[in-house]
Amino acid sequence: MVMLQIVPYEEIMALSSVGRIRKLLNLAKEDKIVLLQGRLKKEEEAELIKATMEEINEDFKGIELAVINPTIENLTGLKRFKNRVINALLGNRTGFTVIGPANIVKQIKKDPNKIELLTSEKTNQKNKRNKRRNNKKR
């Protein structure tokens, strides 16, 4: 079973950059696919990658990350400018960010208006491995 956790922008709005990254990464480490309303700042995306690397071990292989932003890509001129001002003042709420644990999400394919999550069989392998470990302990 794949669990999808929706995170509204309001839930991360008041958090510091470190807090945002921690929250999203913790959800991914709980084997949940995170669907965040809006997007992180560019610098926060890089920090998220850094934080992910610090936590990689035999069970946590990292994340798959994708940002889909259909509205802004279609905007032009004044509307685009207006959107940027709103984003600067209130945070970037347009589009979605998908963060999936790499042991579940093998690849994220996207085009401007849709995303495809290719899931992995490794979750089952991991469950089997855990079962084997538990049996050995008994």
Partner 1 sequence: MGILALLKRFIFGWFSRRDSIRLGLYGPPNAGKTTLANKICVDWLGEEMGQVSRIPHETREIQIKEQIKLEHKGKTLQFNLVDTPGIATKIDFEDFIKAGLPEKEAKKRAKEATKGVIDAIKWLDEMDAVIVVLDSTKDPYNQVNITILGNLAARNIPVLIAANKTDLKKANVKKVQAAFPQYPVIGISAKYGKNIDNFYSSLFKLVK
* Binders in 2-31 for partner 1, by CB under 8 A: none
Can residue 78 be called a binding residue for partner 1 (CB under 8 A)?
no
Which residue among 50, 79, 82, 128 contacts partner 1 (CB under 8 A)? 50
Query: How many residues form the binding site for partner 1 (CB under 8 A)?
Result: 25
Contacts of residues 114-122 at CB distance under 8 Å and 24 or more positions apart, as own/partner, are 114/68, 115/66, 115/68, 117/33, 117/64, 119/2
List CB contacts of 116: < 8 A, sequence separation 6 or more: 108, 109, 110
Can residue 110 be called a binding residue for partner 1 (CB under 8 A)?
yes
Report the C-alpha gap between 113 and 74 in whole angstroms: 11
- 109 or 132: whose CB is closer to partner 1? 109
Which residue among 14, 53, 78, 89 contacts partner 1 (CB under 8 A)? 53
Residue 45: which of 23, 17, 86 has the closest Cα?
17
Can residue 108 be called a binding residue for partner 1 (CB under 8 A)?
yes
Read off the DSSP letter of residue 52: H
Residue owning tokens 């958090």:
15
Which residue among 2, 6, 18, 46 contacts partner 1 (CB under 8 A)? 46
Which residues contact partner 1 by CB under 8 A? 41-43, 45-47, 49-50, 52-54, 56, 58, 61-67, 102, 108-111
